[in-house]
Structure 1
Amino acid sequence: MHRRRFIAASAVALSAAAAPLPLASAAHAGRRLPTRYVVSDKPGVLPEGIGITPDGTIYVTGSGNGDLYRGHVTRDRLHPFASGGSERPFAAGVHPDRRGWIFVAARATLDVHGRDGRLLARRTGSSGPVGETFLNDLVVTRDAVYVTDSTNAVLWRAALRGHRLGSLERWLDLRSLVPGMPAQYFFLNGIDATPDGRALIVASQGLESLIRVDVTTRTASLIDLGGTSFGPDGLVLRGNHVYAVLNYAAPDGQGVYVARLNDDLTTGKIIAGVVDPAFDSPTTLALHDRRVYVVNSQFDHAPGTPPYTVVTVPDPLR
């Protein structure tokens, strides 16, 4: 989810978790929720990734320090949850799953944390044909984790078998599959999957487009959006709608845009957009209870000025 920028389990230093979080989404039904969340007041955090569990627990990564922060939609402040330490100075995509694991894409590694913040696993990808691996964003399906690479036109995959995570492998090279793929710096960013895990939607800022990947046949093609520039950073797929953060070449400015795709996820058009003065170099988003949670990275004027925040806007389709 880095916006056109390049910059076996081991123990890591853990920060004390916040007080116990509310466990049920019913606990905040009908309540007035914050519209702005403070990730951190410390300099240099540069938040980037976000994931929200069904019960409203929020996880946000710090690309400036590799740390992971945790909070809840009912509270306006997040707290340190797991430190990247010296072994992980950068963290981007984050995805909490139904096992209670929190997956983090960290440029050189794919890390997995438990509910208590402990590092459960670390998988490393080798260098690609252009340069060092830049693991950026990820999605977790029932049987695998898929990770985008922002240096190489590659999707990485680690198999999931129950509570076992396989090695991280170069699963699909898009250079021979997608017409016009640049010779280098492909800027593969956001990724999501259909509920059955048979198709992936991948953002390419290098092509300013979306790519559909068929997992079974291991084929890929550009999604036809009628010639519209649509190169998201982070994205979320809901049904046949792609919610995406565009932070360059956006039709009406940096913001959240929604593309409606056909049933095969092969063609579509942009149908809605939200540009808000509260956005500050937005990188990605999460959806929860009819609201869109947007990460303000401050990349455009890094290292930015604390506090670093997540802000919300109403779901433009609700």
Structure 2
Amino acid sequence: MPDSTRLPRLCAAVLLAGLAAMPVQAGPAAAHELPHTYVVSRAPGVLPEGIAIDRDGTMYVSSDGTGALYRGDVRDARLRPFRAEGLADRPSTLGVHTDGRGRVYSVGGAELTVHDRRGRLLATRTAQGGPLGASDLNDLVITDDAVYATDWANPVVYRAGIRHGRLGPLEPWLDVRSAFPQFPAQYWLLNGIVADRSGRTLLVASNGTEAVWRVDVANREISQVDLGGASFGADGMVLRGRTLYAVLNYGAPNGVYIADLDPDLRSGAVTHRVTGESFDLPTTLARHGCRIYVVNSQNDEPPGRPPYTVSAIDDPVCARPSR
């Protein structure tokens, strides 16, 4: 990733370094048979960034520092390198997700790649750049008929259609500047992206605007999610029904924030803030069972200090049924 695009992310982390932690909300009893900390790697410079956990508990973590992927299991505290074809020349991998067939989708630089469980490369798609220059893809979400990806360097959401199991070209789909034209284009800093169950609504996080934006897929209408005026410049996010889980590391103390949204995903309120844990510049999260898995990136002080880890915490809303 070019230094010019990395700088705002690191500056945000430095600004937050001195902020005091807020109280942790109590949650259900932990599953003590599972590890609380997972070691991604002990090799210098890995700087973990993204995470995905498949339905069977298989965990994938990406490396911002090297571009590699790591694989493990929620029952085992140690991850190992995932031998994925075609990643040797990619210096950074950020967002990673799996689909219903266990295929592994990841983004880094301008590339979207798809691998099977054995690491075989199934597809590569390249974004051709946006209004500000070369793409720096940050995160992605997979729906029944498309993959959507955010661009940290451009105020653009990309889309690759899925038809009969085949992935189409990765093309510019939405220029978000129309929602807030007076905001400087280079500071949108698009981050996490999630979709509702139907795939008809997307939520897109923007570090720069300190907001989450709602996108109607049918007409590409974009509007800010009203969270009561709170700063909510999320990094990674997870949407489960109407519950939005997010990692914040900009504009608020580092940690996991959980919001309860209305049925249309247009407004809501933050119900839980988990900021008292020993997070080390968290970037994103995954949910599996009644636990939340948080990546400790150490990206505020690269190359960080091994071991690089994922922290597991109890989900404070686990007992409440998803709506």
TM score, norm. by length of structure 2: 0.87
Alpha-carbon shift at residue 224 of structure 1 (Å)? 1.1
Are the aligned partners of 1:178 and 1:220 in contact in 2 as well (CA < 8 Å)? Answer: no
Check 1:180–1:315 CA distance in 2 against 1; reply closer, same or farther (3 A cut).
Answer: farther
Alpha-carbon shift at residue 82 of structure 1 (Å)? 2.8
CA separation in 2, counterparts of 1:117 and 1:110?
15
Task: Tell me, yes or no, if structure 1 residue 206 matches structure 2 residue 208.
Answer: yes
Are the aligned partners of 1:155 and 1:170 in contact in 2 as well (CA < 8 Å)? Answer: yes
Deviating above 6 A after TM superposition, structure 1's stretches of 4 or more consecutive aligned residues are none
Check 1:294–1:180 CA distance in 2 against 1; reply closer, same or farther (3 A cut).
Answer: farther
Residues 206-245 of structure 1: pairs in structure 2 closer than 5 A: 206-245=208-247
Letter in 2 for 1:273: R
1:160 equivalent among 152, 162, 165: 162
CA separation in 2, counterparts of 1:34 and 1:278?
15
CA separation in 2, counterparts of 1:185 and 1:127?
16
Are the aligned partners of 2:205 and 2:233 in contact in 1 as well (CA < 8 Å)? Answer: yes
Q: Deviations over 1:279-302 (max 9, x none)?
A: 001000000011000000001111
Are the aligned partners of 2:46 and 2:64 in contact in 1 as well (CA < 8 Å)? Answer: yes
Check 1:235–1:283 CA distance in 2 against 1; reply closer, same or farther (3 A cut).
Answer: same
Worse-matched range after superposition: 179-188 or 140-149: 179-188
Alpha-carbon shift at residue 6 of structure 1 (Å)? 7.9
- 2:173 maps to 171
Are the aligned partners of 1:186 and 1:206 in contact in 2 as well (CA < 8 Å)? Answer: yes
- 2:41 maps to 40
Alpha-carbon shift at residue 75 of structure 1 (Å)? 0.3
CA separation in 1, counterparts of 2:251 and 2:7?
12
CA separation in 2, counterparts of 1:255 and 1:69?
23
Of all paired residues, the percent bearing the same amino acid is 55
Alpha-carbon shift at residue 126 of structure 1 (Å)? 1.0
- 1:280 maps to 280
Check 1:162–1:191 CA distance in 2 against 1; reply closer, same or farther (3 A cut).
Answer: same
Alpha-carbon shift at residue 3 of structure 1 (Å)? 9.2
CA separation in 1, counterparts of 2:202 and 2:293?
22
- 1:64 maps to 65
CA separation in 2, counterparts of 1:268 and 1:292?
21
Q: Deviations over 1:236-261 (max 9, x none)?
A: 111111100001211xx210001111
Alpha-carbon shift at residue 158 of structure 1 (Å)? 0.3
2:100 equivalent among 62, 85, 98: 98
SS across alignment from 2:9: coil
SS across alignment from 1:184: helix
Tell me, which stretches of 5 or more residues in structure 1 are unaligned? 8-29
Task: Tell me, yes or no, if structure 1 residue 295 matches structure 2 residue 299.
Answer: no
Letter in 1 for 2:281: S
- 2:75 maps to 74
CA separation in 2, counterparts of 1:99 and 1:4?
36
Letter in 2 for 1:63: D
Worse-matched range after superposition: 174-183 or 234-243: 174-183
CA separation in 2, counterparts of 1:230 and 1:180?
19
1:89 equivalent among 84, 91, 98: 91
TM score, norm. by length of structure 1: 0.88
- Relative contact order (alpha carbons < 8 A, sep ≥ 6): 1 or 2 greater? 2
CA separation in 1, counterparts of 2:249 and 2:114?
28
Alpha-carbon shift at residue 183 of structure 1 (Å)? 2.4
SS across alignment from 2:304: coil
Alignment coverage as a number of residue pairs:
293
CA separation in 2, counterparts of 1:310 and 1:241?
22
Are the aligned partners of 2:10 and 2:300 in contact in 1 as well (CA < 8 Å)? Answer: no
Alpha-carbon shift at residue 316 of structure 1 (Å)? 1.8
Check 1:230–1:49 CA distance in 2 against 1; reply closer, same or farther (3 A cut).
Answer: same
- 2:152 maps to 150
SS across alignment from 2:310: strand
Are the aligned partners of 2:135 and 2:153 in contact in 1 as well (CA < 8 Å)? Answer: yes
Letter in 2 for 1:197: G
- 1:5 maps to 9
